[in-house]
């Protein structure tokens, strides 16, 4: 339960930040005046959680639905961890501080472990409905790629600003965003 609450809070905070920065609808970037709570983002996450819980629970029964959603989360997390390993190597390569052991060998070993875990989760094919997890994960990846392509085409300036905030490009000091 605590993990689910933390994940929902983290998701709402991410939606809030993306809305505040103009990468999602600005309404998600608003907070309640009294507490500073991102109410719109939290409401969206709550609605999505209820819809998914009821939809999957009623469609597949609670325990199989939990197994399916758990496998989707696992596969997506493994994909994110693998991308982080590639990002680590690329970051230090571009920075000119690439260390073959720390930024080459260890991320390669980590990706190999991630691939192994991924394969063990999908082979042999899990029983229905968990066998749908790979397709749901691929669909989620496609949505993410399409969303990124849309941002690159329709909001490249906002995407550049977000990249600067996340560490690509100049530091906040170099851009004059911080005093000192």
Residue 2: predicted pLDDT = 82
Separation CA 56–CA 51 (nearest Å): 8
Both tokens of 74, joined, read 């696992």
- Give residue 111's pLDDT: 97
Per-residue confidence (pLDDT) for residue 174, from 0 to 100: 58
Q: Which of 55, 23, 18 is nearest to 38 (CA)?
A: 18
Burial class (CB in 10 A: 0-12, 13-18, 19+), 130: buried
Q: 136-169, pLDDT tens digit by residue?
A: 999 999 999 999 899 889 888 887 777 776 665 5
Tell me which DSSP letter residue 172 carries.
T
- Mean pLDDT for 87-115 is 95
- C-alpha span between 33 and 75 (Å, rounded): 38
What are 108-139's pLDDT values in tens digits?
999 999 999 999 999 999 999 999 999 999 99
| pTM of the predicted structure, to 2 decimals | 0.80
- Identify the pLDDT of residue 80: 95
pLDDT at 170: 53
pLDDT attached to residue 166 = 65
User: pLDDT tens digits for 5-53?
Assistant: 898 999 999 999 889 888 889 999 999 999 989 999 999 999 999 999 9
Predicted local distance difference test score (pLDDT) of residue 177: 46
Closest CA to 78 of 129, 121, 15: 121
Structure tokens at 58: 């009623």
Give the sign of the dihedral formed by CA 55, CA 37, CA 166, CA 97. Answer: negative
179 phi-psi bin (left φ>0, alpha ψ -120 to 50, beta other) = beta
Q: Rounded to the nearest 5 degrees, what angle is found at the Cα of 173, between the Cα atoms of 160 and 9?
A: 60
């Amino acid at each position: 339960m605590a993990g689910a609450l933390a994940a929902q809070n983290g998701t709402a905070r991410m939606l809030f930040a993306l809305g505040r920065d103009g990468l999602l609808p600005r309404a998600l970037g608003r907070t309640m005046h009294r507490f500073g709570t991102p109410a719109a983002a939290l409401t969206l996450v709550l609605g999505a959680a209820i819809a998914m819980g009821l939809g999957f629970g009623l469609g597949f029964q609670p325990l199989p639905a939990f197994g399916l959603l758990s496998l989707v989360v696992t596969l997506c997390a493994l994909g994110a961890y693998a991308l982080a390993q590639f990002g680590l190597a690329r970051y230090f390569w571009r920075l000119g501080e690439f260390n073959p052991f720390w930024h080459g060998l260890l991320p390669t070993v980590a990706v190999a472990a991630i691939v192994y875990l991924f394969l063990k989760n999908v082979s042999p094919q899990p029983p229905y409905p968990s066998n749908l997890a790979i397709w749901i994960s691929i669909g989620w990846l496609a949505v993410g790629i399409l969303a990124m392509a849309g941002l690159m085409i329709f909001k490249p300036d906002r995407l550049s600003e977000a990249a600067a905030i996340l560490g690509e490009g100049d530091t906040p000091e170099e851009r004059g965003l911080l005093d000192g």
